[in-house]
Amino acid sequence: MKPGLRKEILEHSEADNLRDAVAEWRWTATWLLEEDDEQHCPCDQPIREICEITNRVNGKRLEIGNKCIKLFGCDGADEAAQVCDALRRLRGQATGSPGEALIQYSLDTEVLTPDEAEFLRGLHGRKKSLIDDMDEATRIDLNRKLLREFAPAGLRGFETSAAHWHATQEKVYAERRREAIARQIEEDARERRERKERRERRERRRATSRLAAKLRRAPLREA
Ligand SMILES: [Zn+2]
């Protein structure tokens, strides 16, 4: 742990040694800063991914960076780091899965309803090719909600990615429509061909039976 953070932690803890002090803290919130915001971790590093930790003994709060919380290793440090990773990922990719840590965090903070969290969990880890378009569109909407809440600065990149996805879907739909029409035309032509062949066979059969009847009658007339 960097000296600046160690000093700050000890100053705000009840324990007077670092090991006991760490046990007093837990992760309580994470958010990403807006583009024009600036903040420094107690270790002096400029940070954009803010992790709030709270002392459960005296209720004091500190805001530290995502790297420092990992080194600090308090309760929830891993989840905090995973939430940061997920938010960073969603900034540039609208269709990704937010992952379990961010889903749980959003549920705990009531940004997602239990139904929405369940929906996202259901899609997590599923192959993209097995996710239907409606579900993917719903996931994009939920991802947008998460970013709006926790990392609004990432919305611009997110919307570019979302627009790209929708445009690709439009192309896929247009291609599917074109294929369906081509298939229909082909089917109609085949049906017409088959009808014509049936008619011709029927006519041939009739001609043959007329000829047979004529032949049957012929000897009688001769006699
Ligand atoms: Zn730091």
The whole-chain average pLDDT of the chain stands at 92
- Rounded mean pLDDT, 140-163: 95
Tens digits of residue pLDDT in 6-37: 999 999 999 999 999 999 999 999 999 988 88
Q: Check whether 3 has a pLDDT greater than 80.
A: yes
Tokens read off for 144 = 């947008």
Share of the chain above pLDDT 70, in %: 98
**Based on the number of CB atoms within 10 Å of its own CB, is 112 exposed (0-12), middle (13-18) or buried (19 or more)?**
buried
Could you tell me which of 30, 73, 61 has the C-alpha nearest to residue 48? 30
Q: Check whether 222 has a pLDDT greater than 60.
A: no
- pTM recorded for the entire structure: 0.76
Q: How many angstroms separate the alpha carbon of residue 138 from the centre of ligand 1?
A: 36
> For position 40, what pLDDT does the model report?
95
> For position 217, what pLDDT does the model report?
80
Q: How many angstroms separate the alpha carbon of residue 108 from the centre of ligand 1?
A: 25
> For position 214, what pLDDT does the model report?
82
Q: Check whether 219 has a pLDDT greater than 80.
A: no
Please say whether the beta carbons of 90 and 157 come within 8 A: no
> For position 21, what pLDDT does the model report?
95
Q: How many angstroms separate the alpha carbon of residue 71 from the centre of ligand 1?
A: 9
CB-based neighbours (< 5 A) of ligand 1, an ion: 41, 43, 45, 65, 68
> For position 163, what pLDDT does the model report?
95
> For position 221, what pLDDT does the model report?
58
Tokens read off for 61 = 């709060």
